[in-house]
Structure 1
Amino acid sequence: MGDKENKGVKGFLFSAVSCGLKRKEGELDLGLIFSEFPASVAGVFTRNLVAAAPVLIDRERLPRGVCRAVLANAGCANACTGPEGYEDGLECARWAAMELGLKQEEIMLASTGVIGTRLPLERIRKSIPSLVRGLGPWRLEDLARAVMTTDTRPKWTLRRKTLEGREVSIGAVVKGAGMIHPQMATMLCFVVTDVAASPVFLQECLESSLERSFHAITVDGDTSTNDTVLVLANGASGGNPLREGSPSGEEFRGLLGEVLEEMALEVVRDAEGATKLVHLRVEGAPDNTSAWRVARAIAHSPLVKTAFYGEDVNWGRIAAAVGYSGVPFELDRLDLWYGQVQVLKAGRPAGEISENLAKDVVRQREFSIRVCIGSGSGEALLHTCDLSHEYVSINGSYRT
């Protein structure tokens, strides 16, 4: 996942401690990002109307455009906790601000975990001094571990690029394995970079990168109450602020997009109980919106997803999902491929030989499916996974 030999991003420090929020004793569960310089901040959040307290707080603070720190916890979502939960979040920000010598408004918050329980404030308060003392430039992976819940591994990346003759860095951490159907829009992603950029340009870069990254993945069709993506840029690499339309500005936009796409795919690869990563492409739709409707109908079908798990070339389930997607098309224009193997041609089976070849495709850990519904210009690329017994086991006992 990128250049991880030198794990630093200029001007950013990271830390993580265990304060007993997770069930397993000693697991990291409280993380901190600190910028040594005021950083521009951009963010996108869940569209779920049941939004968690940290999301409400961050939405209020984002228009300021400046952030110095992000305090994140796992084990407790601080969602559906009422005004008390909101005040709990503010209290955590105040404690962190006092220890860091900041204004509490300069701190953004993120939480993930069980919905409906309040934060154990005393544990967090006692842990913040050691969290701040532990700040270091190389602890990005520890931060990734601190926000894990049902994730099986920490997911992070670090990249370097030369812009206008200067080396710049961009690092990212993502958390998520289930309750993944972002609609910005359980998932957390933090990106830090040492480029100089205005909050407006940073926000525009983030939003323009979402369609091919976090908007293009789905695990189970559930949008979390806590989904948060934050991007911080502190300018520590030097140079003038990046501008929209400039060569360096567009290079950075591309780099941010690549990082977000990498993180999004890591979420699906690490999806709860998943054994398959499936790249689902829909083509020939009347427009892109229609293509996305078809893709999501396929990817959200339990019958389709269980067929992926069983390595069953059950193309009929995919065809049925296309049919109920609500997008009009002619059956004799419907074509379907597993990898390079066409199994459905003009709405009819392509033959037994093709289906046998397709069986080799679905046995792979990662494969693609292409669906064409006509001659329109609309297209979509959605990344999804299978639905296994393990997914049911994980979510059937999440609170026990």
Structure 2
Amino acid sequence: MINENKAGVTFAKGFKATGIKAGIKKSGNADLAIITSDTEAAVAGTFTQNKVAAAPVYVSKDVVKTKTAKAIVANSGCANACTGQQGMDDAHKTAQIAAAELNINKDDVIVASTGVIGVTLPMDKIETGIKAAVPTLNNDGSDAAANAIITTDTYTKSLTTSITLDGKEVRIGAIAKGAGMIQPNMATMLCFITTDANIEQVRLQTALSEIIEKTFNMISVDGDMSTNDMVIVLANGQAGNNKIIENDENYQIFYQALSELCCQMAQKVAADGEGATKFLTININNARNFRDAKLAGMSIANSPLVKTAFFGQDPNWGRILCAVGYSGVDMNPENTEVKIGGITIYSNGLGAAFDKNALQDIMSEHDIAIDINLNMGSTNATVWSCDLSYEYVKINGEYHT
């Protein structure tokens, strides 16, 4: 079972965290987080596919290649993206400062940033902040860390779950940020996951890479792909289960738990879209293949006309069908069926008769399901998104460099 739990990244054995105000954000809110493992941990990561990637993405990719890590340092308020060699130097220096304070190897430090693009890190504040933060690391510091990584989020995102392997309790916890500039691959977000599972790094990376494709890479708020996205998993083995090295029953149990946690966290990110008033679950059924199902779902999720219709509580099936039609997937409008909240509104090439009052009640709800039956195959996929409101324009119109 997945739980909304502020224990987050300190839920698993052997992890500490903290979050402080380093003065990076103009708002004066918390803006520097540190997460550590008491022992060496296997590390896995997935990163933005934007070719304009931020400096910390490159630095952290190199850390993942070493297969182990012991710490994560993340700041908000400054993305350290499009900052040239200075940005790379600052990302490396951030890891170096943290490593010195934690008495670990620099190559064991993941670095992450989020915030305004094109601005260099205030390294004096970063250094002072890290030195101030390290002594405050504790077993209950996850919520402070979660607060320190958010930007336009309206709430912190923290989940935990546990499973049993070889008679041992294995815990998994996560924190994430993300509300705008959300479009895979990956979504604009930082997600840090910790677990005390004993698992081989290659197996951990395989699991994460596969899971991402049907969770975090299935959400969209506004169709914009960020420069800084990453999902990092640290597994320190302190649960004491037999090491997972093969695709056996233990691996499948762990895989399922991690997948469920990522799925729910992805939904929380989509639901917290900037200015969102609706959380949209878009189910594409009976597509020829997964690619078609995802393309159709994303086309609906990214359509400004569809998104604004839901903000206005207008069940405009024409906009939905149109988005599927231009998505590039194999479809025949005569065979396609569209439902909102389980009510059929389009079928057999025509708008369907329906109870307008019942549908209006559904459109007034926060959580709304859109079901598209393509009747072209047997593959299904789900995309999660939100509406597009006046507030989204206000937030991003006022978000200046």
TM-score in terms of structure 1 length? 0.97
- Tell me the alpha carbon deviations over residues 289-308 of structure 1, each in whole angstroms, 9 at most, x when there is no partner: 11211111111110000001
- The offset of 1:245, in angstroms, is 2.2
Residue 138 of structure 1 aligns to a residue whose secondary structure is: coil
Give the Å deviation of 1:59: 1.3
Match of 1:338 among 315, 337, 340: 340
2:93 is the alignment partner of 1:91: yes
Contact 2:199/2:244 (<8 A) preserved: yes
Structure 1 position 395 matched with structure 2 position 396: yes
Q: 1:22 aligned to 13, 20, 25, which one?
A: 25
CA separation of 1:116 and 1:3: change in aligned 2, threshold 3 A: closer
Supply the AA of the counterpart residue of 1:158: T
Residue number in structure 2 paired with 1:313: 315
Please say if 1:186 is aligned against 2:191: no
Deviations 1:250-300 (A, max 9, x none): 100000001111110110111100010111011222222112111111111
Matches of 1:5 and 1:331 in 2, distance apart? 46
- In structure 1, C-alpha distance between the alignment counterparts of 2:178 and 2:331, rounded to whole Å: 35
Residue 118 to residue 8, structure 1, CA distance change in 2 (3 Å): same
Q: For the residues of structure 2 that align with 1:385 and 1:288, how far apart are their CA atoms?
A: 22
Aligned length: 398
Gaps of 5+ in 1: none
Distance 2:220 2:213 in 1: 13
The answer for the alignment partner of 1:140 in structure 2 is 142
**8 Å CA contact 1:19, 1:127 repeated in 2:** yes
C-alpha contact (below 8 Å) 2:165/2:241 kept by paired residues: no
Deviation at 1:174, TM superposition (A): 0.6
Equivalent residue letter for 1:214: F
Which range moves more in the overlay, 205-214 or 226-235?
A: 205-214
| 1:150-191 residue CA offsets vs partner (Å, 9 max, x unmatched) | 001111112222221111111101100001112145310000
- Is the 8 Å Cα contact of residues 288 and 377 (structure 1) preserved in structure 2? no
C-alpha separation between the residues in 2 aligned to 1:5 and 1:93?
26
Asked if 1:8 corresponds to 2:42, the answer is no
- Tell me, in whole angstroms, the C-alpha distance in 2 between the residues paired with 1:233 and 1:268: 26
Give the one of 221, 225, 241 matched to 2:243: 241
CA distance in structure 1 between the aligned counterparts of 2:251 and 2:274, rounded to whole angstroms: 37
Q: Single out whichever of 284-293 and 362-371 deviates more from structure 2.
A: 284-293
Matched with 2:156 is: 154
* Structure 1 segment 243-282 matched on structure 2, within 5 A: 243-282=245-284
For the Cα contact (< 8 Å) 2:181–2:188, is it kept in 1?
A: yes
Residues 344-375 of structure 1: CA deviation (Å, up to 9, x unaligned): 11111111x34443222111110101111224
Pick which of 294-303 and 184-193 moved more.
Answer: 184-193
- Which stretch of structure 1 is more off in the superposition, 179-188 or 130-139? 179-188
DSSP-derived class of the 1:333 partner: coil
For 1:57 and 1:390, the matched residues in 2 are separated by: 35
Task: Check conservation: 1:289, 1:378, Cα contact below 8 A.
Answer: no
Deviates more, 1:326-335 or 1:43-52: 326-335
Give the conservation status (yes or no) of the 8 Å contact 1:45–1:185: no
Identity of matched residues, %? 42
Q: Distance in 2 between matches of 1:89 and 1:329?
A: 47
Do the aligned partners of residues 186 and 290 (structure 1) sit closer, same or farther apart at CA in structure 2, a change above 3 Å counting? Answer: closer
Q: Distance in 2 between matches of 1:387 and 1:166?
A: 45
SS at match of 1:178: coil
- Check the 8 A contact 1:44/1:185 in 2, yes or no: no
2:119 corresponds to: 117
Tell me which moved more, 353-362 or 335-344. Answer: 353-362
Distance 1:286 1:4 in 2: 39
| Deviation, structure 1 residue 200 | 0.2
Q: Deviations over 1:71-124 (max 9, x none)?
A: 000000000000111000111111111111011111010000000000000011
AA aligned opposite 1:366: D
Question: In 2, distance between residues paired with 1:245 and 1:104?
Answer: 32
The answer to which of 170-179 and 152-161 deviates more is 152-161
Determine the C-alpha separation between the residues in 2 that align with 1:175 and 1:398.
17
> 5+ unaligned residues in a row in structure 2: which ranges?
none
The correspondence for 1:44, drawn from 40, 46, 52, is: 46
DSSP 3-state at the match of 1:232: strand
Contact 1:47 1:185 in 2 (8 A): no
Q: Does 1:200 align with 2:238?
A: no
Amino acid in the other structure paired with 1:191: I
Q: Give the Å deviation of 1:211.
A: 2.3
What SS does the aligned partner of 1:272 have?
coil
CA deviation string 1:50-77 (max 9, x = no partner): 0000001111221110001000000000
AA aligned to 1:108 is: I
Deviation at 1:3, TM superposition (A): 6.3
Aligned equivalents of 1:286, 1:254: Cα separation in 2: 25
The equivalent position to 1:55 in structure 2, one of 50, 54, 57, is 57
Match of 1:220 among 197, 219, 222: 222
Maintained 8 Å contact 2:330/2:376: no
The AA in structure 2 aligned to 1:106 is D
The answer to whether the 8 Å contact 1:52/1:77 transfers is yes
